[in-house]
């Protein structure tokens, strides 16, 4: 019996309703179905008096979601998609993302196309597009000569953001990319982004759009103090270590829905994850089409996006 999963946003009534309908449809077609909510991939935030919040990466895989599962359906918006990949990437499960949210930049199809999408998916009529993910770890040096203690770790698809707390001054960082020399950055924060995340926070902070198949990462300073501090694109195989150079603590956020406090003595390490995000594509991936439909990129300059009929 083939096996499928469903991950849905249980806060949205439409996602709950569609999850029930989808489960019934798959069961009627002879599939074993496992169901989980996207909240299982949200790690939460630490409290100021309790900065440590360590959840092992492999511990987020929902019960029943294993290597025997052929595929899983995600019902929600971009936040649910980001959470779902943290849950299933260690098991290598490909996801068909169905938008029940707003923009749905990362989603493949919409609820009104659900029946056709399900039929195509269970027939195996699709391609799989693999996207780079990151592992973010926070270390704190020990008082002895032993190895630093791992305080916190998480996997992400978009980005890691390290920034100042509200009502505090500009931050100073020393950043090492691969084996290159340390660089000093004075800014409100720094972003380490994947190509997938290049259309998210890093784009708003002035970083370039990177097509998903390019094997690179990027570092983007947030509101830098120097005109010379600009986005840097580098190999995906170069790990990044960030050393805070200031007396105040910082806040780290991963994919916008998980994070922890970073104290002055802590070290943040970001590197390519051993797992990939595996997107099910019902048609050949066309990144520029998504940019045009979701962000209005590349539309005729003589007309506003709202006045152009999109394909």
Report if residue 248 sits inside a domain: yes
The answer to whether 115 is annotated as binding is: no
Tell whether 40 and 105 lie within a shared domain: yes
DSSP the chain: --EEEEEE-TTSHHHHHHHHHHHHHHHHTT-EEEEEEGGGG--EE-BTTB------GGGGSPTT-STT--EEEEEE-HHHHHHHHHHHGGGT--EEEEE-SSS-TT-SEEGGGHHHHHHHHHTT--EEEEEEEEEEEEEE--SSSSPPEEEEEEEESSEEEEEPPTT---EEEEEEETTSPPEEEEESEEEEE-TGGGGTHHHHTTPPP--TTS-EEEEEEES-SSTT---EEEETTS-EEEEE-SSS-EEEEETTSEEEEE-TT-EEEEEEEEEEEEEEESS---HHHHIIIII-TT--TTS-GGGS---
Say what the pLDDT of residue 223 is.
Answer: 94
The answer to whether 110 is annotated as binding is: no
The answer to whether 8 is annotated as binding is: no
Say what the pLDDT of residue 297 is.
Answer: 85
Tell whether 55 and 77 lie within a shared domain: yes
Residue 256 or 64, more confident: 64
Domain holding 10, by residue range, is 3-125
Say what the pLDDT of residue 260 is.
Answer: 85
Report if residue 281 sits inside a domain: no
Report if residue 261 sits inside a domain: yes
Report if residue 195 sits inside a domain: yes
- Each residue of 93-103: pLDDT tens digit? 999 999 987 78
- Each residue of 238-257: pLDDT tens digit? 999 999 998 888 999 999 87
The answer to whether 79 is annotated as binding is: yes
Tell whether 85 and 101 lie within a shared domain: yes
Tell whether 161 and 92 lie within a shared domain: no
Choose one of 68, 96, 125: the last residue of a domain: 125
Report if residue 283 sits inside a domain: no
The answer to whether 159 is annotated as binding is: yes
Question: Percentage of residues in the chain with pLDDT exceeding 90?
Answer: 70
Residue 133 or 166, more confident: 133
Q: Residue 230 pLDDT > 60, yes or no?
A: yes
Annotated catalytic residue 78: yes
- For the domain that residue 252 is a member of, what is the CATH number? 2.60.200.30
The tally of domains found in the chain comes to: 2
Say what the pLDDT of residue 127 is.
Answer: 96
Tell whether 147 and 270 lie within a shared domain: yes
Query: Of the residues 10, 68, 78, 125, which is catalytic?
Result: 78
Tell whether 236 and 268 lie within a shared domain: yes
Tell whether 153 and 206 lie within a shared domain: yes
Task: Identify the band that residue 151 occupies on the pLDDT scale cut at 50, 70 and 90.
Answer: confident
The answer to whether 236 is annotated as binding is: no
């Amino acid at each position: 019996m083939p096996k499928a999963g469903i991950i849905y946003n249980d806060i949205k009534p439409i996602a709950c309703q569609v999850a029930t309908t989808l489960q019934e449809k798959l069961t009627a077609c002879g599939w074993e179905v496992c169901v989980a909510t996207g909240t299982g991939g949200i790690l939460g935030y630490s409290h100021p008096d309790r900065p440590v919040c360590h959840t092992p990466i492999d511990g987020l895989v929902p019960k029943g979601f294993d290597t025997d599962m052929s595929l899983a359906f995600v019902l929600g918006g971009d936040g649910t998609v980001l959470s779902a990949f943290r849950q299933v990437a260690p098991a290598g499960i490909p996801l068909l993302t169905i938008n029940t949210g707003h923009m749905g930049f990362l989603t493949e199809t919409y609820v009104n196309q659900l029946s056709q999408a399900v039929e195509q998916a269970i027939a195996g009529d699709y391609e799989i597009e693999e996207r780079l993910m990151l592992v973010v770890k926070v270390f704190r040096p020990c008082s002895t000569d032993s190895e630093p203690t791992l305080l916190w770790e998480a996997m992400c698809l978009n980005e890691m953001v390290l920034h100042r707390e509200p009502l505090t001054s500009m931050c100073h960082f020393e950043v090492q990319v691969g084996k290159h020399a340390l660089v000093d950055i004075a800014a409100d924060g720094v972003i380490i982004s994947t190509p997938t995340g290049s259309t998210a926070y890093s784009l708003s902070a002035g970083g370039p759009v990177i097509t998903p198949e390019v094997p690179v990462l990027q570092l983007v300073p947030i509101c830098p103090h120097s005109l010379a501090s600009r986005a840097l694109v580098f190999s995906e195989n170069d790990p990044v270590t960030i050393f805070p150079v200031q007396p105040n603590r910082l806040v780290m956020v991963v994919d916008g829905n998980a994070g922890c406090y970073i104290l002055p003595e802590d070290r943040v390490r970001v590197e390519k994850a051993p797992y990939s995000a595996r997107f099910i594509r019902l048609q050949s991936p066309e990144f520029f089409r998504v940019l045009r439909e979701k962000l209005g990129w590349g539309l005729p300059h003589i007309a506003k996006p709202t006045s152009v009929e999109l394909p």
